[in-house]
Structure 1
């Protein structure tokens, strides 16, 4: 029997959440569409997978049997798909590198040039990810290696080498009362609304809302964005403030906002990250070595 892996992923998410609304939000689909997909899977299998009530979605015995086995099945398929895509990229002599925003700052062109010197005939294709995907394609297997900001969701499942450590700044609308300050203490702004990534980004969102420096106070979220340009516009329009690496003052300067050093907050770190499955891949190793050659002072 053939079953679309998408239906299995939907099923696993509903089983984990026990609630259609939360599962739909996590999957970025509407609740009616998700309900339709679950019913389609039940029809294909000829069994009832959930009992539905006001309390949520409870697994039936057949549903529990599938829930016990489906994650391993999906993981196996993901591994096979990633291996197939990686082999295709190697055959084409292309290294796919995921990145966020400014990647490794000014060192990025030097890293690519060093890699090409080590691997004549190869080329690097850079794939930018939005803030809603801070793993930069590593988690989806769409890239071979990535230049990321730490921390990112699922980080423990990858090899990581820190390349750059830089201070964080607070980003304010130009008319903000603290905009004229030379330096701002985080405690002065931590209770203001923040322009933030989506909650699904977990540790990434926590880092960029200063969760570790809040003494347990939850952040106020003014609005949620996915791209740097949207983030800058939201701050300029007074929807909230933000935190940014110091390099953003060079890459993302624009009218209507100001960057100020912020005291009492941990720095931002740029790293090169790659999946354990690529340990035997000499091309990925050459890219990592190129990063370390151009940024030898990383951790």
Structure 2
């Protein structure tokens, strides 16, 4: 029976916290997504890892017996990965993105980074909205461009820009002719939402902070700006996105309009708090916040 490293990290974090809620916050994943992963792992293992006692949990006998081996596997992998990356030859910094950064920021930052670290290459990877850390939580990314907030005390962030939120509408929508739209006029619209695993990203792109307790109408879920705009173009619903993305992601038959009365979306660079490498510091320093 094979298990993914991510699942083992999830198991170890829950064992540390003895709380799905605290472990989810630590891992920067939603609690439902974490529970689903553990249930899937337990099904494949053929036994339960945790006993659920109302709001409290405890390791089962099998879980307690398995935990030391899991910790050893994770520690061995982390040591081996660090050792291999320290070897000579081409080295790669993996940059996770929840959105195509564009906005001229990416090009200038990469040029400055290469000038300071010519023996490093940068690998850009687009990560779905179902991971609000853009790969930092499971170490598949070294640094990341994320939308705030990131729900983890183990991740550091620095804001790069604040952008107005826009709404993407089908071109024939009654509101499409307006130059600007009040959010109150969108409250009853069907929305394209990020998946529940997106956690705070789902709230950001549904403008939960401005609904005053009114639940949104969810027409469909999408794990990326591209998928969300495809759904809008098909007439499924409307979607919120940042001003920069309104320019970067364009679709025939879709119009984007600024929305009044919404707090701006904050784009940030993020990295793990325990990553003290000079190369990470150099990359973060190459990104200059907008004035």
Indicate the TM-score class for this superposition, using the shorter chain for normalisation.
0.7 to 0.9
Contact 1:89 1:95 in 2 (8 A): no
Aligned to 2:26: none
So what's the TM-score if we normalise by structure 2?
Answer: 0.79
Q: Within the alignment, does 1:283 sit opposite 2:290 as a pair?
A: no
CA distance in 1, matches of 2:212, 2:61: 42
Aligned to 1:141: 139
Q: Within the alignment, does 1:39 sit opposite 2:46 as a pair?
A: yes
Q: Within the alignment, does 1:170 sit opposite 2:174 as a pair?
A: no
CA distance in 1, matches of 2:9, 2:286: 40
Q: Which among 111, 114, 124 is matched to residue 112 of structure 2?
A: 114
Aligned to 1:225: 222
SS in 2 for 1:148: strand
CA distance in 1, matches of 2:79, 2:220: 38
Q: Within the alignment, does 1:185 sit opposite 2:182 as a pair?
A: yes
SS in 1 for 2:136: coil
Deviations 1:209-253 (A, max 9, x none): 001111111222111111222211111112111111111222111
Aligned to 2:246: 249
Shift in Å, 1:266: 0.7
So what's the TM-score if we normalise by structure 1?
Answer: 0.77
Shift in Å, 1:37: 2.7
Contact 1:163 1:270 in 2 (8 A): yes
CA distance in 1, matches of 2:290, 2:51: 54
CA distance in 1, matches of 2:63, 2:275: 33
Aligned to 1:132: 130
Q: Which runs of 5+ in 1 are unaligned?
A: 43-48
Shift in Å, 1:79: 6.1
Aligned to 2:207: 210
Contact 1:161 1:271 in 2 (8 A): yes
Q: Within the alignment, does 1:274 sit opposite 2:274 as a pair?
A: no
Q: Which among 253, 258, 263 is matched to residue 261 of structure 1?
A: 258
CA distance in 2, matches of 1:190, 1:206: 14
CA distance in 1, matches of 2:149, 2:127: 15
Q: Within the alignment, does 1:151 sit opposite 2:134 as a pair?
A: no
CA distance in 2, matches of 1:50, 1:182: 55
CA distance in 2, matches of 1:163, 1:120: 24
Q: Which is higher, the Rg of structure 1 or of structure 2? A: 1
CA distance in 2, matches of 1:78, 1:248: 37
Across the aligned residues of Structure 1 and Structure 2, the Cα RMSD in angstroms comes to 3.7
- Distance change in 2, residues 1:86/1:125 (3 Å): farther
Aligned to 1:45: none
Q: How many residues align?
A: 276
- Distance change in 2, residues 1:78/1:108 (3 Å): farther
